Amino acid sequence: MNITLKPISQPDGRSELSGTAAGCIAVGIHEGGVLTQEARSLDAEGAITLAVESGDISGKTGSTLMLRQPPGVSAQRVLLVGLGKSGSLGEKAFRSGVRDALHCFSKIGARDAVLALPFEQVEGRDLHWALRHVVQAVHDMDYRPDSLKSEKDARPAGIRDLVLPLTPTDAARQTLAQAEAMAKGSIYARELGDLPPNICTPTYLVGRAQALAQEYGFGLQVLGPKEMAELKMHSFLAVAGGSEEQPALAVLQHRGGETGDAPIVLVGKGLTFDSGGISLKPGASMDEMKYDMCGAAAVLGVFRALGELNLPLNVIGMIAVCENMPSGRAVKPGDIVTSMSGLSIEVLNTDAEGRLVLCDALSYAARFKPRALIDIATLTGACVVALGHHNSGLFTRADAPHEELAADLLQAGRETGDPAWRMPLDDVYAEQLKSNFADLANIGSPGGGAVVAAAFLERFTRGQLWAHLDIAGTAWRTGKDKGATGRPVPMLTHYLCTRAGGQST
């Protein structure tokens, strides 16, 4: 769907919506029959008021009513969209209105439509937030996870051109361009996440990194088992040992900043399938362990957005890819492995494998002298217990530089509808990782599992400005709507835009 900004008003500020020739115009209605300004501009002859007074639409969120060729309006249709209680417009009601309007647009026999909702009246939000939400919602609606079906799901024959009746200022155009890139990046990550693990293997993900590098001119280095062994990444290699698939660490480089500028480094966990290894997972829902590579998918999605935006910033994206499988070569509970950092790790549970992979990747990342180091991982079920499926878990240290990093990431999440929640990371949690036989164990004593996992990673990032995003609860949905979400691509892309100084206010 093509999205354009086009002002539809007279010089004195009066709306020209009524004279706009379009397949459909969507306007908002509040409960109690209160019309938004846009709705009032189409009601010169009372058709909308009559529909409201007759009880055809309540104005509650989720309610819609299509009017065909109402008198005094040039558009073929006017769609009334419920926005909830009058007097205020909250985020939830606005998001619902956008979604409901797009759903109706997808079912009508028209090519173009105007979405004339009150973009600048959402409580606590500005026009740029609203724009980002609309663009993401459009791309999410267009996404289809049926690439491997012999008979594809029927695509709606609805509108292809969407007009937002807004003045195309430089700031608005910039936000629109960034939102388009952000949405394409999140869809890219969703596509990767939804692929089956017999297709989306470690080799396949490396191939996708190579394709991105070729398309956008990124630098790329790929470390295979031989190079990883030379670097003494024995923790990473231990996880991969039980699989026939070869592990890899692929390193993408976007060189948009000045030579010598410290890069922001993103590290994504890429377990293309996690059986749990010798500590085998239960069979129920094990198919969803194909999503254990969503951290790596997010990094690739961010680089897809970077390729579109070409931000003046140096960014490195690392994807640590392998499978965790049971076999005669698999790492066993009780084994002790030595990481690239030199720290020895007692493996008490082979299903706590993500941290064993990430610790070596994070150690390798230090050689780039990062401006900031952020890892993204579907790391712990404990984070799902703590936060559910709404917020990603954000972990950082408590000193001033890390407080600023946390605040920037949290703000980026709020601005993009991709929220995170700050979790504790006190020294006492690291005490739970003590081992009698090694420098630390890969799991701790019971309680605070998500925090203990973050405390494990913290041991390998000392001296770095570092944050950890646990996306186990947000990277995919279960149930009838099962599928990858593309999170946290929006948050991270917006964060990079702000760091590049290219974000509109």
Residue with structure tokens 């909702």?
117
Residue type (1 letter), 221: Q
Residue 485: count other Cβ atoms within 10 Å of its Cβ: 23
Q: Is 427 exposed, middle or buried (0-12, 13-18, 19+ CB in 10 A)?
A: exposed
- Cα of 372 vs its chain's centroid, Å: 19
Cβ pair 249, 319 in contact under 8 A: yes
Half-sphere exposure of 271 (CA within 13 A, CB side): 32
Quote the longest CA-to-CA distance of the chain.
83
Does residue 40 have an active-site annotation?
no
Find the catalytic residue in 132, 355, 459, 487. 355
Does residue 355 have an active-site annotation?
yes
Q: Is 286 exposed, middle or buried (0-12, 13-18, 19+ CB in 10 A)?
A: middle
Q: How far apart are the first and last CA of the chain?
A: 26
How does strand 25-30 pair with strand 112-116? parallel
Q: Please state, in angstroms and rounded to a whole number, the distance separating the CA atoms of residues 101 and 95.
A: 10
Find the catalytic residue in 281, 371, 422, 477. 281
Residue with structure tokens 């966990």?
269
SS3 462: coil
Contacts (Cβ under 8 Å, ≥6 apart) of 116 = 8, 17, 25, 26, 27, 38, 165
Closest CA to 322 of 240, 385, 254, 400: 240
How would you label 393-410 residue by residue, b for 16+ Cβ within 10 Å and e otherwise?
A: bbbbbeeeebeebbebbb
Contacts (Cβ under 8 Å, ≥6 apart) of 166 = 5, 6, 7, 119, 127, 131, 172
Q: Please state, in angstroms and rounded to a whole number, the distance separating the CA atoms of residues 278 and 380.
A: 18
- Cα of 433 vs its chain's centroid, Å: 31
**Catalytic residues, which ones?**
281, 355
